[in-house]
Amino acid sequence: MNQHDLTLVGAIKRETGSQDVFVARHLIDGVWVDGASGETFTRHSPACGTQTAIAAKGNETDVEAAVQAARLAFDDGRWSQKSGRERAQLLSRVADLIDRDRERIALYETLESGKPISQAKAEIEGAADLWRHAGALARMIHGDAHNALGTDMLAMVLKEPVGVVSMITPWNFPFLIVSQKLPYALAAGCCAVVKPSELTSVTTVILGELLQEAGLPAGVVNIVLGYGQPVGSLMTTHPGVDMVSFTGSTATGKAIVAASSQTLKKVSLELGGKNPQAVFVDADLDQAADAIVFGIYFNAGECCNSGSRIIVHHSVAETLTAKIVALSKRVPFGDPLDPATKVGAIISAEHQQKIDSYVVAARAAGATVEIGGSAIDIDGLEGRFYGPTVVSGVTPDMPIAREEVFGPVLSVLTFDTLDEAIEIANDSAYGLSAGVWSDNIHTCLEFVRRAEAGTVWTNTWMDGFAELPFGGVKESGLGCELGRFGIEEYLETKTVQMRIGKTRQMWV
Ligand code: NAD
For residue 232 and ligand 1, the question of a CB distance below 6 A is answered with yes
Strands lying side by side in the sheet with 144-146: 144-146, 153-161, 491-499
Minimum-distance ligand 1 atom for the alpha carbon of 253: 2
Report how far residue 479's alpha carbon sits from residue 486's, in angstroms, rounded to the nearest whole number. Answer: 9
User: Measuring CA to CA, how many Å separate 431 from each of 199, 310, 450, 471?
Assistant: 26, 15, 12, 9
Spell out a b/e string for 392-416, using b for 16 or more CB atoms within 10 Å of the CB, else e.
bbbeeebebbbbbbbbbbbbbbbbe
For residue 197 and ligand 1, the question of a CB distance below 6 A is answered with yes
For residue 227 and ligand 1, the question of a CB distance below 6 A is answered with yes
Torsion of CA 120, 34, 219, 181, to 10 degrees: 30
Q: Considering only CA atoms, which of 423, 444, 431 is closest in space to residue 480?
A: 431
For residue 171 and ligand 1, the question of a CB distance below 6 A is answered with yes
Report how far residue 427's alpha carbon sits from residue 443's, in angstroms, rounded to the nearest whole number. Answer: 19
Crossing angle (nearest 10°) for helices 84-100 and 102-113: 70
pLDDT of res. 379: 85
Report how far residue 479's alpha carbon sits from residue 470's, in angstroms, rounded to the nearest whole number. Answer: 9
What is the DSSP track for 191-224? EEEEE--TT--HHHHHHHHHHHHHTPPTTSEEE-
Report how far residue 224's alpha carbon sits from residue 203's, in angstroms, rounded to the nearest whole number. Answer: 13
The angle subtended at Cα 146 by Cα 145 and Cα 147, nearest 5°, is 115
Half-sphere exposure of 343 (CA within 13 A, CB side): 28
- Per-residue pLDDT tens digits for 427-456: 999 999 999 999 999 999 999 999 999 999
User: Measuring CA to CA, how many Å separate 181 from each of 142, 243, 363, 498?
Assistant: 20, 12, 40, 35
Indicate the top mutation candidate among 249, 405, 482 to test ligand 1's pocket, ranked by most ligand atoms within 8 A of CB: 249
- Per-residue pLDDT tens digits for 200-236: 999 999 999 999 999 999 999 999 999 999 999 999 9
Indicate the top mutation candidate among 178, 236, 241, 247 to test ligand 1's pocket, ranked by most ligand atoms within 8 A of CB: 247
The number of beta carbons lying within 10 Å of the beta carbon of residue 14 is 10
pLDDT of res. 6: 47
Out of 109, 270, 404, 452, the active site residue is 270
103 is catalytic: no
303 is catalytic: no
Burial status of residue 449 (CB atoms within 10 A of its CB: 0-12, 13-18, 19 or more): exposed
User: Measuring CA to CA, how many Å separate 285 from each of 317, 324, 401?
Assistant: 10, 10, 22
The DSSP call for residue 418 is H
Q: Are 262 and 234 in contact (CB under 8 A)?
A: no
Residue 238 Cα to ligand 1 middle (Å): 19
The DSSP call for residue 301 is G
Residue 311 Cα to ligand 1 middle (Å): 27
pLDDT of res. 1: 41
Strands 368-371, 389-392: pairing is antiparallel
This prediction has a pTM of: 0.95
For residue 404 and ligand 1, the question of a CB distance below 6 A is answered with yes
Residue 181 Cα to ligand 1 middle (Å): 14
Could you report the average pLDDT of every consecutive run of 10 residues in the chain (508 residues)?
49 51 97 97 94 97 98 98 98 98 97 97 98 98 96 96 98 98 98 98 98 98 98 98 98 97 96 98 98 98 97 98 98 95 95 97 97 92 94 96 97 98 98 98 98 98 96 97 95 96 76
pLDDT of res. 238: 98
Q: Are 357 and 400 in contact (CB under 8 A)?
A: no
Report how far residue 267's alpha carbon sits from residue 330's, in angstroms, rounded to the nearest whole number. Answer: 42
